[in-house]
Amino acid sequence: MELYQKTAANLSLMLQKKEVSSVEVVQSFLDRIELVEPHVKAFITHTPLIALETASAVDKKRLLGEDLHPLAGVPIAIKDNLCTAGLRTTCASRILENFIPPYDATVVEAIKRAGMPLLGKTNMDEFAMGSSTENSAFFSTANPWNLDKVPGGSSGGSAAAVSTGMAPLALGSDTGGSIRQPASFCGLIGLRPTYGRVSRYGLIAFASSLDQIGPLSLTAHDSALLMDVVAGYDPLDSTSLPEAVPDYAAGLEGEIKKLRVGVIKQNLADGFNPEVKAAVLKLVALLGANGAEIDEISLPLADYGLGAYYLIAPSEASSNLGRYDGVRYGYNAGGDNIEVMFSRTRGEGFGPEVKRRIIIGTYALSAGYYDAYYLQAMKVRTLIRRDYEAAFKKFDLLVGATTPTPAFNIGEKADDPLQMYLSDICNINDALAGVPSLSVPSGIDSCGLPLGMQMTAPPSREGLLLKIAGFLEQKRDPFPLRPRVKLSEGGEL
């Protein structure tokens, strides 16, 4: 087994036992990137030198016997909406194509402190707006399981990188499914933590009240290790949770107490792909066979979530994206006066989906429409949150499909925003409620595409999600976790 095929937990052990150096580990991933990246295109920016430098520094420290973080020397890829000091951060947008932040996001600082070599910044939908990574201003990313399919989005680059062994771990961000949906499409663990669990400082905002950073990985253990690096209170983020963070990796051990599992009716709806549903029910049955109490639950307001989300998120986005005007940084199209400069810069700098959402959001917040749209959506959000509170009085865990279908074709939904929005239908309510939610691989369909089950827990119980995901990894019927990347010209990688 090559180094790049190993899990982060494995690599961590090997490094700690000095069976391998971090430089060797990083080199293995760099070689893999060289081979696979031309076909998958997961990265916007490659940082091999930074990765090797960090690796060699960690190796030196290890030789000197210094105390190191368990993930020290284990490389990582991060989504290109996380600010990196001195390294361009584009958000996959023309408007930030050459933007070099002077500061690190809090999570980036944490990664650096842990000694994790940075392999690169991954592709995404522009400003995280999309579900297929086709909205990147630069290029689309392919699904490693079938290069004609999308990897999901908006964290599609992070998902594709981990899935192909171009990185053992990645960070993504999830506003309304942007970690979980690509994790499902690529056969990975993808965790959206409780809102506030991971600092948003340095995450380029899409919708501030919904954005959360989280891990994508091959196994629950790997995600737990990465959560141990990035989770926790941050005085720079007023919305970050002050409560202490458990040790997620340690929390994976031990018995699972008698679980009450609620199967969300709406997330296994009639129109869903039968193989998707069957795979979820199989895992549910496995939980049942291991002592969980299973029941069905209907979230009364679930059907209104998508509508509320597509008012709240664009409203916040319309405000968050106002600052890209060419005055201080980023793309500037010029113009004879300030008004022309503003409109040309924004007209040329933003892609069509971003513009669509800015327009929707601007409209929803306008005088005379605010009450009917934004305010109404916020009321729905409150009611959805109450639905969850009620549900968690009866259940420890809510489950359903992560997505209604497996990965769709590149271009299939690109011209139909509504169809695209519907692909996040199972992910949005959790985001509105601010509760933690995780996608765990549930199998491979008859076309060879991965499937996922989404599990949702009460606030701050992401540890439980990781633990159950770990349990399922051990107990489920085995299926391949990594694809063989089949090239159109023949051959596989």
Partner 1 sequence: MKYEVAIGLEIHLELQTKSKLFCGCSTTFGREPNVNCCPICLGLPGTLPVFNRRAIELAVTAAIALNSAVSDQSRFDRKNYHYPDLPKAYQISQYEQPLARGGFLEIESEQSFKKIKLERVHLEEEAGKLIHSGSSILGSEYSLVDYNRAGIPLLEIVTAPDIRSGREARLFLEDLRLLLLYTGASDCKMEEGSLRCDANISLRPSGLSSLGTKTEVKNMNSFRAVETALNFEAKRQEAILKAGGSIAQETCHWDEAKKETIPLRGKEGSSDYRYFPEPDLLPLTLDRALIQNISEQLPELPLQRRTRLKQQYGLEAGEAGLFTENRALGDFFESAAEEYSNYRSLAKWVRGDLLYQIRESGKPVEEIQPKQLIELLTLLDQETINRPVAKELLSEMVKSGKGPKELVKEQGLERVSGREKLMPLVERVVAENPAVVEKYLQGKDKAISFLVGRVMALTGGRADPGEINKLLKEKISQ
The least CB distance from residue 340 to partner 1, in Å, is: 10
Choose the binding region for partner 1 from 13-21, 280-288, 316-324, 440-448 (rule: CB under 8 A).
Answer: 316-324
Residue 81 vs 267, nearer CB to partner 1: 81
Rounded-to-integer distance, Cα 263 and Cα 397, Å? 9
DSSP for residue 154: S
Q: Is 236 in the site for partner 1 (CB under 8 A)?
A: yes
Does residue 355 have an active-site annotation?
Answer: no
Residue whose C-alpha is closest to residue 221's, from 8, 15, 73, 478: 8
Contact residue for partner 1 among 28, 89, 141, 427 (CB under 8 A): 89
The least CB distance from residue 365 to partner 1, in Å, is: 4
The least CB distance from residue 195 to partner 1, in Å, is: 10
Contact residue for partner 1 among 58, 76, 118, 205 (CB under 8 A): 205
From the candidates 12, 131, 132, 178, which is the catalytic residue?
Answer: 178
Q: Is 233 in the site for partner 1 (CB under 8 A)?
A: no
Q: Is 327 in the site for partner 1 (CB under 8 A)?
A: yes
Q: Distance from first CA to last CA of the chain, Å, rounded?
A: 14
Contact residue for partner 1 among 145, 185, 304, 342 (CB under 8 A): 342
DSSP for residue 372: I
Q: Is 350 in the site for partner 1 (CB under 8 A)?
A: no
Q: Is 209 in the site for partner 1 (CB under 8 A)?
A: yes
How many of the other CB atoms lie within 10 Å of CB of 411? 12
**Cβ 173 vs Cβ 212: under 8 Å:** yes
CA atoms in the 13 A half-sphere facing the CB of 418: 1
Q: Is 432 in the site for partner 1 (CB under 8 A)?
A: no
Does residue 208 have an active-site annotation?
Answer: no
Q: 3-class DSSP state for residue 231?
A: strand
Q: Is 325 in the site for partner 1 (CB under 8 A)?
A: yes
Choose the binding region for partner 1 from 223-231, 232-240, 411-419, 452-460 (rule: CB under 8 A).
Answer: 232-240
Does residue 154 have an active-site annotation?
Answer: yes
Sheet holding 76-79, edge to edge: 43-46, 118-122, 76-79, 169-174, 212-217, 189-192, 437-444, 450-456, 397-401, 260-264, 293-297
> CB neighbours of 20 closer than 8 A, spacing ≥ 6?
3, 11, 14
Please give the residues from 357 up to 376 whose contact with partner 1 meets the rule CB under 8 A.
362, 365-367, 370, 374
Number of residues interacting with partner 1: please give it, by CB under 8 A.
45
Rounded-to-integer distance, Cα 190 and Cα 412, Å? 24
The least CB distance from residue 4 to partner 1, in Å, is: 30
**Cβ 441 vs Cβ 187: under 8 Å:** yes
Alpha carbon 163 to chain centroid distance? 13
Active-site positions read: 79, 154, 178
- Tell me which residues touch partner 1 (CB under 8 A): 81-83, 89, 91, 96, 99, 101-103, 105, 200-205, 207-209, 235-239, 315-316, 318-319, 322-323, 325, 327-329, 337-339, 342, 362, 365-367, 370, 374
